[in-house]
Amino acid sequence: MHILVTMGESKNEKLNRLLETLGDATLVSSRWLRAHGYPSNLVARYIASGWLQSPARGVYLRKGGKPTWEGLLQTLQVREQLPLHAGGRFALARQGHEHYLRLGESATLTLYGPAKLPAWAGKLPLRERVEACGKGPFDWPLLTFGADTSDATLNAQGLERVTDDTRAAGVVISTPERAILELCDEKPDSALVGEANALMQGLATLRPQLVSTLLQHCASIKAKRLFLALADRHHHAWLAHVSLQNVDLGHGKRVLVPGGTLNAKYQITLPADLDEQLG
């Protein structure tokens, strides 16, 4: 969303124009405000007058508003124009595939993309932790998530805009097909493999054509082999329709966990107690 501030615009008009763009969770950074004609001295005046508040240094929202993960992600994607999306574990949980939250831990907003998070993003008083997970395992060219990026372009890379929640409407997250591959790319240990296995058990409706495309563009041999081995363990019907043509699965064995059991088909070791972990 863009604000046009004219030279003849009054101070009240400038304030009203800004407030019109701010919902209860909408965040605006110092950088964005300066770029749209709101210098730091004017922002300080708005705070002193009770119109704005600063939940963390360098970022602002309407007085009385409350930062949320949806507001943060929308700001990063639309206002800051950063190629970051919610993926992995968080995207799966939001889409109803959550297996469990580690006891005593809050949910973690797992953000994927090559852009560096603004310093203020990790200092907001959110219910969720914010974790930058890096570029992720895919080799596609970068996308930004403005209105000029079509849904078809997003869908081709296993991304989608949220449409079923007014607070999160418009933010871009990974589809389950992409999110489980992002999770499989995390640093492997028995706990991660167990969690991915439990989540995979519930992923009975993945789209094989999208899975095939994602596997072709996934640069992580480990993630691809783990994904396929877990899907095979649960005998998902869609797996038979996944094409592995042009999918590089590498050569030789991959040891994920010491003392694990070798999956001979995909040449990867898995924890021996995976079935026990499912309870």
What pLDDT score was predicted for residue 12? 84
How deeply is 258 buried, as exposed, middle or buried, from its count of CB atoms within 10 A (0-12, 13-18, 19+)?
Answer: exposed
**Phi/psi of residue 203, each to 5°?**
-95, 65
pLDDT at 106 over 80: no
What pLDDT score was predicted for residue 2? 46
Rounded Cα distance between 257 and 275, Å, is 16
Rounded Cα distance between 195 and 216, Å, is 24
pLDDT at 3 over 60: no
Fill in the DSSP letter of residue 76. Answer: I
Residue 213 vs residue 276, higher pLDDT: 213
What pLDDT score was predicted for residue 176? 97
pLDDT tens per residue, range 203-243: 999 999 999 999 999 999 999 999 999 999 999 999 999 99
What pLDDT score was predicted for residue 40? 94
pLDDT tens per residue, range 143-169: 889 888 999 999 999 999 998 777 778
pLDDT, mean over the chain: 90
